[in-house]
């Protein structure tokens, strides 16, 4: 049975109790009432001796907290808190970001399996590290680090909510990405090889990528409402930065516009198949895969294996980052403009790069300068 005692210069009773390994501990009960202090000491010993399940231990702790403070201790199962966190984040984030969060949450809960119904406080740093190791065998380092970042966000909110004393993911370091290849621009001969085998919609997307420097998702979402042919301008709001871009239409792209069929509906997409793909999934994964297949057919990269084999984990394996992708067109546009002598400030304004040095809030590039810059780009359609 636990005992209580008083120390010199302290008005509180101290609990003296035995742990499961036989060691004796003393903890202040923060109580001046002898009966209340004895009750707390008995509860300390009951929990310390390990004669209770995790749920019973939490109940004991909750009773101690209630007796000491007069208020209830918050608690939640892992699954319940994660799902409530997703619901809380939904109105705060873009649809694509929320879908991203859902994927990471489902992956972690699936890894926990039956433990997902346990109380949130049972998760410790060792669990997060074990999850990181499991994911590192399955997906790329970047994907692993994204998952750990989401867990860190969730547990930090739980700490702020008073459910956790500390963040179990806070001390878990990201996976190193030392072997990550650097992206390079697509060369003009490479672009022409892809254009030669691309269908009409992909040919259009490639030309838009080269002559605007914009991301694949933003180009897939374009409608005729984004186009002003009288002013020869393309207006869009980027999904990544939320920044409005006003891009003069380069001459080769203007020639391409004349081949596109425009209806009376301004909401009609410029690239219907790509538009529907992104609208349906809120991701560009399918389009990125299709462009990779185009590059493979053009002989620029090795075809990706989708079936699991001795040397490949298939679709569930680690995603290998390639030197070239659709995003490389963004690098190509930037490189061509700079090689033509266009200043960095003008290039950043056209392509939409954000930097601490040059910001859209403080630097404004006039229309004539941007038109002159875009006019320097070569025509790959010839």
Residue 196 and residue 143 share a domain: no
pLDDT at residue number 52: 47
Task: Tell me the β-bridge partners of 24.
Answer: 18
pLDDT over 70, % of the chain: 82
> What is the pLDDT at residue 32?
86
User: Are residues 49 and 139 located together in one domain of the fold?
Assistant: no
- The verdict on 224 and 302 lying in the same domain is yes
Say which residue, 20 or 357, is predicted with more confidence: 20
Report pLDDT for 356. Answer: 39
Count structural domains, the chain.
Answer: 3
Q: In the predicted model, what is the mean pLDDT of residues 346-368?
A: 61
**Is residue 46 over pLDDT 60?**
yes
Of 5-19, 153-167, 353-367, minimum mean pLDDT range: 353-367
Query: Residue 50: is its pLDDT beyond 60?
Result: no
pTM here is 0.59
Domain that holds residue 30: 3-69
- pLDDT at position 300 over 90: yes
The answer on 355 and 315 residing in a single domain is yes
H/E segment holding residue 104: helix 95-112
The answer to the question of residue 171 being in a domain is: no
Residue with tokens 């490479």: 190
| Res 10: pLDDT | 85
**Residue 122 belongs to a domain with what CATH number?**
1.10.150.130
Is residue 11 predicted with pLDDT exceeding 60? yes
| Domain boundary pick from 110, 143, 160 | 160
**CATH at residue 269:** 1.10.443.10
Q: What is residue 361's predicted lDDT score, i.e. its pLDDT?
A: 36
Least confident of 20-24, 235-239, 304-308: 304-308
Given this model, what pLDDT does residue 297 score?
Answer: 95
The band of 168, judged by pLDDT with boundaries at 50, 70 and 90, is very high
Domain boundary among 27, 50, 69: 69
Residue 179 counted as domain residue: no
Dump pLDDT digits (tens) for 118-128. 888 889 899 99
Which residues is 245 bridged to in the sheet? 236
**Within a domain: 113:** yes
Residue 49 has pLDDT above 60, yes or no: yes
Residue 173 forms part of a structural domain: no
User: Tell me, what DSSP letter sits at residue 70?
Assistant: S
Tell which residue, 253, 262, 174, has the closest CA to residue 225: 262
Calpha distance 382→378 (Å, rounded): 9
Same domain as 61, residue 105: no
Residue 300 lies in a domain: yes
Look at residue 192 and tell me if it is in a domain: yes
Query: Average per-residue pLDDT in the chain?
Result: 83
Q: Is there a single domain that holds both residue 250 and residue 339?
A: yes
Same domain, 49 and 136: no
Three-state SS at 234: strand
User: Within this chain, do residues 56 and 84 fall inside the same structural domain, yes or no?
Assistant: no
Indicate the residue among 15, 42, 69 that finishes a domain: 69
Q: Are residues 27 and 82 in the same domain?
A: no
369 and 315 inside one domain: yes
> Do 267 and 288 have their domain in common?
yes
Average pLDDT of the residues in 23-38: 82
Q: Considering the domain boundaries, does residue 359 fall inside one?
A: yes
Confidence of residue 72 (pLDDT cuts 50, 70, 90): low
- Examine the domain organization and report whether 48 and 102 are in the same domain: no
49 contacts 18 by C-beta, under 8 angstroms: yes
The predicted model gives 43-49 an average pLDDT of 72
Specify if 40 maps to a domain.
yes
């Amino acid at each position: 049975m636990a005992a209580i005692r008083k120390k010199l210069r302290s008005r509180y009773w101290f609990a003296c109790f035995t742990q499961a390994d036989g060691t004796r501990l003393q903890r202040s009960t923060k109580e001046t009432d002898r009966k209340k202090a004895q009750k707390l000491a008995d509860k300390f010993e009951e929990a310390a001796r390990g004669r209770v399940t995790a749920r019973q231990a939490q109940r004991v702790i909750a009773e101690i907290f209630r007796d000491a403070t007069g208020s209830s201790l918050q608690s939640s199962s892992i699954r319940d808190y994660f799902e409530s966190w997703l619901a809380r984040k939904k109105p705060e984030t873009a649809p694509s970001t929320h879908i991203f969060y859902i994927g990471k949450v489902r992956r972690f809960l699936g890894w926990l399996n039956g433990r997902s119904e346990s109380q949130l406080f049972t998760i410790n740093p060792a669990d997060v590290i074990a999850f990181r190791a499991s994911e590192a065998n399955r997906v790329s380092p970047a994907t692993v680090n994204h998952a750990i970042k989401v867990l860190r966000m969730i547990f930090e909110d739980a700490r702020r909510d008073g459910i956790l004393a500390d963040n179990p993911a806070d001390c878990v370091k990201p996976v190193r990405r030392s072997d990550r290849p650097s992206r390079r621009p697509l060369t003009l001969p490479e672009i022409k090889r892809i254009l030669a085998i691309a269908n009409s919609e992909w040919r259009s997307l490639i030309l838009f990528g080269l002559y605007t420097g914009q991301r694949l998702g933003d180009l897939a979402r374009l409608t005729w409402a984004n186009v002003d042919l009288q002013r020869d301008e393309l207006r869009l709001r980027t999904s990544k930065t939320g920044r409005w871009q006003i891009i003069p239409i380069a001459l080769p792209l203007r020639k391409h516009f004349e081949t596109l069929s425009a209806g009376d509906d301004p909401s009609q997409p410029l690239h219907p198949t790509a538009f529907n793909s992104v609208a349906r999934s809120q991701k560009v994964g399918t389009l990125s895969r299709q462009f990779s297949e185009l590059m493979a057919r053009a002989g620029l990269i090795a075809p990706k294996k989708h079936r699991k084999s001795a040397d490949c984990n298939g679709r569930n394996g680690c995603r290998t980052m390639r030197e070239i992708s659709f995003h490389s067109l963004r690098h190509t546009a930037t490189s061509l403009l700079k090689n033509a002598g266009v200043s960095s400030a003008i290039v950043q304004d056209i392509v939409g790069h954000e930097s601490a040095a040059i910001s859209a809030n403080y630097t404004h590039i006039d229309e004539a300068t941007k038109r002159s810059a875009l006019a320097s780009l070569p025509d790959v359609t010839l």
